[in-house]
């Protein structure tokens, strides 16, 4: 829903800018530095890139829930999910490094302890609700 205004408009603006410079140079005999044309076109393309990023990040990632008009709530929720995923990835990498020197028995004990902690946390969360 947000793809057209956030991506389409800047993309059309980029093409229109380029065509406008071409028209002015060809039919109005105006001269422009190539850097000016490139910069003006690039600005619209960069806005389009930001727009497509926002469009994806502000979409509802939950199939059962339709997002809002601007998607501000969904954007915040998705950014939090992304940060959480990156944090878990970092934690997993650190855990793998620590596990590299452990024996199989030590790994199994650590897994069992982790599962017990997860179960206790789940019970506590259920109790709090």
Give the tens place of pLDDT for each residue, 38-84: 999 999 999 999 999 998 888 887 777 777 778 888 899 899 989 98
* pLDDT for the residue numbered 2: 75
- Retrieve residue 124's tokens: 């506590």
pLDDT at 1: 67
Interval 110-129: pLDDT, tens: 889 989 988 998 888 888 87
Residue 29 region by backbone torsions, left for phi larger than 0, else alpha for psi between -120 and 50, else beta: left
CB 41 within 8 A of CB 14: yes
Residue 67 or 8, more confident: 8
Confirm whether pTM is higher than 0.75. no
């Amino acid at each position: 829903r947000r793809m057209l205004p956030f991506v389409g408009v800047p993309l059309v603006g980029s093409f229109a800018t380029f065509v406008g410079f071409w028209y002015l140079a060809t039919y109005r005999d105006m001269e422009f530095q190539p850097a000016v044309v490139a910069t003006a076109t690039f600005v619209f393309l960069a806005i389009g890139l930001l727009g497509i990023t926002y469009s994806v990040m502000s979409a509802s990632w939950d199939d059962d829930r339709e997002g809002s008009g601007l998607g501000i709530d969904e954007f915040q929720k998705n950014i939090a999910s992304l940060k959480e995923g990156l944090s878990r990835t970092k934690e997993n990498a650190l855990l793998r490094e620590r596990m590299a020197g452990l024996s199989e028995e030590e790994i199994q004990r650590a897994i069992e302890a982790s599962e017990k902690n997860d179960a206790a946390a789940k019970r506590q969360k259920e109790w709090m609700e």
